Amino acid sequence: MEKIVRIGLIDDHELFVQAFALLLENLSTSNRLRVVARAHSYEDALKWNHVDNLDLIMLGLHYSDGDGLDLVSHFREHYGHLRIVVVSMYDNAEFVKKAFLNGADGYLLKRNTLEDLKQGIDEVLSGETYMGKGVKPIPNLSGPKGKPSEYTLKGDAYLMRNALTNREREILKYITQAKTNREIGDLLFISDQTVGVHRKNIMRKMGVNNTASLVKKALEMKLYE
């Protein structure tokens, strides 16, 4: 008898969720797929009831109120029976590696084919791990090395946030509050010279050359939170 697989979808684009739900329910796989839960934000996903009744969660990474990688950890920690598949536009090797380390069972790109999608769902539901075509958990060491400026060119807040270290994000928050290097150093118990080095690295990664431009971009991309 055909098994009904109950799916939860999470993505910050409502139209994508609606269209993807229709696609899944009409997809020809070895199981009958039913989307029974939907969320369009990080917080909405955390408020889901009856997660125990789900078999599979498919989710994106970027949300205005949180990080999909943290959602992977949350669902893996609290619902060990769930199969979890990331469906993302990001093929960044670091994101892929973190997703699997956090407990994902599969990783698909939004540019993958229907065959990739069907194969990925079938393999994950059978207990296997799946990576769609183009998904790599380690960087391509033979290719050109990525540069911080690539984040700037894409103008993607999620990529930019992940390009900055925890310390850099901490310092950036204080920079947007108009604090001097000395004041930031006193708050973080480091020297003002060290703060200055971090400030230069932040500016280089964000592709700006003065503090005013740095603050403006940080506020626009909400990197100060």
> In the block, which residue shows the tokens 């539901």?
125
Domain co-membership, 120 together with 25: yes
Domain co-membership, 9 together with 77: yes
Query: How many Cα atoms are found within 13 Å in the side-chain-facing hemisphere of 71?
Result: 30
- Taking alpha carbons only, the member of 30, 102, 123 closest to residue 59 is 102
This model's pTM is above 0.85: no
Domain co-membership, 38 together with 113: yes
What confidence tier does 153 reach under pLDDT thresholds 50, 70, 90? very low
Number of domain units in the chain: 2
Last residue of one domain, picked from the residues 72, 97, 131: 131
CATH code for position 192: 1.10.10.10
Domain co-membership, 154 together with 73: no
Convert the pLDDT of each residue in 166-196 to its tens digit. Answer: 899 899 989 988 889 999 999 999 999 999 9
Structure tokens at 54: 């789900």
Asked, for residue 144, whether it belongs to a domain, the answer is no
CA distance 184 to 196: 10
Domain co-membership, 67 together with 176: no
Domain co-membership, 120 together with 19: yes
Domain co-membership, 11 together with 87: yes
Domain co-membership, 126 together with 170: no
Convert the pLDDT of each residue in 200-222 to its tens digit. Answer: 988 888 888 888 888 888 887 77
pLDDT of amino acid 191 = 92
Last residue of one domain, picked from the residues 103, 131, 159: 131
Q: Sheet of 106-109: strands edge to edge?
A: 32-39, 4-10, 56-59, 83-88, 106-109, 130-131
Please check whether residue 123 is in contact with residue 114, taking contact to mean a CB–CB distance below 8 angstroms: no
Q: How far apart are the first and last CA of the chain?
A: 50
Please check whether residue 61 is in contact with residue 85, taking contact to mean a CB–CB distance below 8 angstroms: no
Structural domain for 160, as ranges: 149-220
Convert the pLDDT of each residue in 24-80 to its tens digit. Answer: 999 887 789 999 999 999 999 999 988 999 999 999 998 988 899 999 999 999 999
Mean predicted confidence (pLDDT) in 92-117: 91
Asked, for residue 195, whether it belongs to a domain, the answer is yes
Domain co-membership, 105 together with 161: no
Domain co-membership, 62 together with 165: no
- Taking alpha carbons only, the member of 104, 156, 127, 125 closest to residue 30 is 125
> In the block, which residue shows the tokens 């008898």?
1
Asked, for residue 140, whether it belongs to a domain, the answer is no
Q: Is 66 helix (H, G, I), strand (E, B) or coil?
A: strand
Asked, for residue 136, whether it belongs to a domain, the answer is no
Residue 150 has pLDDT above 50, yes or no: no
Asked, for residue 225, whether it belongs to a domain, the answer is no
Domain co-membership, 125 together with 98: yes
* Cα three-residue angle 84-158-141, rounded to 5 degrees: 80
CATH code for position 85: 3.40.50.2300
Please check whether residue 73 is in contact with residue 44, taking contact to mean a CB–CB distance below 8 angstroms: no
Amino acid at 71: L
Radius of gyration (Cα) for the chain, nearest Å? 20
Domain co-membership, 197 together with 123: no
Residue 108 has pLDDT above 70, yes or no: yes
- Taking alpha carbons only, the member of 209, 202, 207, 194 closest to residue 175 is 202
* Cα three-residue angle 19-28-118, rounded to 5 degrees: 75
Asked, for residue 137, whether it belongs to a domain, the answer is no
What confidence tier does 152 reach under pLDDT thresholds 50, 70, 90? very low
Convert the pLDDT of each residue in 129-140 to its tens digit. Answer: 999 998 887 655
